[in-house]
Structure 1
Amino acid sequence: MPAHRLADDPLQDARIPPTIVAGVLDIAEQRGTNTEPWLAGTGLTRGQIDLPGTRLSFRQATTILRRALRALPAGPVGMRVGTRDVLLSWGLVGFAVRSSSSGAEAMAVGVRLHQAAGSLVNYEIEYSTDEFEIRLLERSPDAELLPFLSEEACASIVALLRAAFGSQLRPKRMEFAYPAPTYADVYRRYFQCPIQFGAQHVRMWFDTELLDRPIPTANPAQFAIAVEAARQLADAEGHGPDTVAAVVGVLRENLRHPVTMAQTADRLAISERTLHRRLTEAGLKFGEIRDRVRMQRATVLLRESNIPVATVATEVGFSDSRQFRRAYQRWTGKSPSTERASARR
């Protein structure tokens, strides 16, 4: 069978769910560590990392992870993140895999949609008669981060497969493209298979029979729903360059009390002139981004709540409901009341 490969994302496009970064921050905070300094200059705050709509660029994610790993004691941080509950690590993708009918279907879904789970590496699968190989592909070579990214990816794959097939599942063998860490025994205890360090690639092998094995939790209806939801996450366009995503994050946090461009630049630790230049390079204006954020939030409130239109106006930063109505008409071509009525129909 041919290899299947997912293309890389642009490294500065903010489209990665912050699952892995949030896992590392949680581990550090359990130790009583202040993690805010690790986010300095990224345009993100700790609170934004936990918001459902937050997306990171690869550059933002690796900047935070590099700082975290330098500050934390040396150890199997990637293993700890990757062996968390699969719903934390994989989200909708994990639900889709556990609802798959067979190993082959689960593997295809996992490889195709892993980016919806916030993966920071790509995967390539090679099939042969007796076994198949999962190879990890770095999006950008980084010797400092390679052990962490490899640990997290391999451990989370095995955790997901064990959730689908049972706790006895183990790879046939594994290779890692770096010297054995001081805690290599943690790898051996968890993966329970022969491991070679200092190899050319990061790879793991499984018996081909796994592909034909039925999954006990298979559910076709749940599978279809989970795959579609994960596909939308994986295929959705990013928020553009990470500076744009950072601006969106600041505006979302301050909807009730709108901030100016100067205040936003100050929050991002850059000059207003630099912010203006970066937005111009992205083909956007600050006012356009602010209007889009307001419109999106207003639409959600109009469709999914019963609060008065005047309250919706306040929630998105308008002190005068008439100004909000005119603005919403300009943004969408519909009045707020028409939007609400059409949603109810």
Structure 2
Amino acid sequence: MRLDSPTIPPAVLTGVVEIGQREGCDTAAWFVGTGLEVTQLLTAATMKVSFRQAVDVLRRALDDMPDRSLGMQVGGRDMLLSMGMLGVAMRSCASVAEAMALGLELHEASGSLMDLEVENLDQDVALRMRERYPEPRLLRFLCEEALASTVVFLRSVFGREWSPLRIELAYPPPVYVKQYYSFFRCPIVFSASANRLVVPAAELALPFPTRSESTRAIAVDACRRLLDIGRGGPTITTAVETVLERDLRTGVTMAEVAGHLHVTERTLRRQLTTEGASFSDIRDRVRERRARFLLRESDLAIGNIAQEVGYSDIREFRRAYIRWTGHPPSETRRRGGAPE
């Protein structure tokens, strides 16, 4: 997990800074010690920030503007402001299902600070939002931003009256909870087991009136260029690590990674061999890195951490962890000082 790598387009930070400036906040103070400057953020068209930089700025912004729906304000802006070229690409898809698949693959192009996955819930489908790293102080903001931008996008396609079936949030109601109901216009379950936006499964087949294959191709290419997907990067090994980090929990296969990188599985295997790497070794390295981080920095139970890194059986996870590190996960947890 590369906390300090500048890989994130700063759309979310830019939205927060613009709100802070309108409110008369000393936004320059939010950037002290981060290696960033507020003027640089607002004027550099191609700059990227690291997750750690984004978190530091957002913490200070929330301290200056507490107890308000800041995430909803940022995510609730015009679709082009909140999602950029990714929004253009998704609006040009043929259906909700196609747009959702594209959004899952390229959501970081919008500056997203959450990880996303789709869950099937009987007759419904949920877009589940997961923290990239445990940041309890930012959870509400990050969920609000992701939810609001998703709803704004779908309303831009289906009309202002569209709303989700329901929303589930793993935190208690904020003091401004009425704004949630006013904006989302659907039932909301607080203190839930996960953060989800739920829609009827039948909606996945809904066609987009804004479909355009040519526009989609141009916009997708722009998103890929922004994220450097399949366009070199330092090494193919780094590219594989990046894809695996997004999909660890779902147990993504080598064929699926190759698809994300727009090469055949055979080509990917050959490129990795050229670099003296193997897919299984890279996957183990990414899993170990994520597991160590969660054991040290979160209070998730070890069984839940096993699931987060792609193991359905906690015993299998323990055996793998001992193979990686020489000791069980419980020992890393004790050394890190986190609760058992």
- Tell me the TM-score normalised to structure 1 length: 0.65
Counterparts of 1:161 and 1:137, CA distance in 2: 20
Structure 2: any 5+ residue segments left out of the alignment? 235-340
- 1:127 deviates by 2.8
Match of 2:190 in 1: 197
Over alpha carbons, which structure has the higher Rg?
A: 1
Runs of 4+ in 1 over 4 A off after TM superposition: 236-239
Q: Which aligned pairs between 1:44-193 and structure 2 lie closer than 5 A?
A: 44-50=36-42, 51-128=44-121, 130-193=123-186
SS of 1:144's equivalent in the other structure is helix
Q: Percent identity?
A: 44
SS of 1:223's equivalent in the other structure is helix
The one-letter code of the counterpart of 1:212 is A
- 1:33 deviates by 1.8
Match of 2:260 in 1: none
Q: Which structure has more RCO (C-alpha within 8 Å, separation ≥ 6)?
A: 1
User: C-alpha deviations, 1:139-185, integer Å up to 9, x for none?
Assistant: 11111110101111111111111112221211111111111001111
User: C-alpha deviations, 1:14-71, integer Å up to 9, x for none?
Assistant: 1100100110110010112221011000111111112111110000000000001001
- 1:128 deviates by 4.8
SS of 1:43's equivalent in the other structure is coil
Match of 1:40 in 2: 32
User: C-alpha deviations, 1:108-149, integer Å up to 9, x for none?
Assistant: 111111100100000010135521111111011111110101
Query: Would the aligned equivalents of 1:13 and 1:238 in 2 still touch at CA under 8 Å?
Result: no
Q: What is the alpha-carbon root mean square deviation over aligned residues?
A: 1.7
Match of 1:304 in 2: none
- Tell me the TM-score normalised to structure 2 length: 0.66
Match of 2:227 in 1: 234
Structure 1: any 5+ residue segments left out of the alignment? 1-8, 240-345
Counterparts of 2:155 and 2:206, CA distance in 1: 13
SS of 1:78's equivalent in the other structure is helix
Counterparts of 1:159 and 1:207, CA distance in 2: 18
What count of residue pairs does the alignment treat as equivalent?
A: 232
Query: Would the aligned equivalents of 2:8 and 2:108 in 1 still touch at CA under 8 Å?
Result: yes
- 1:218 deviates by 0.8
Counterparts of 1:143 and 1:39, CA distance in 2: 21
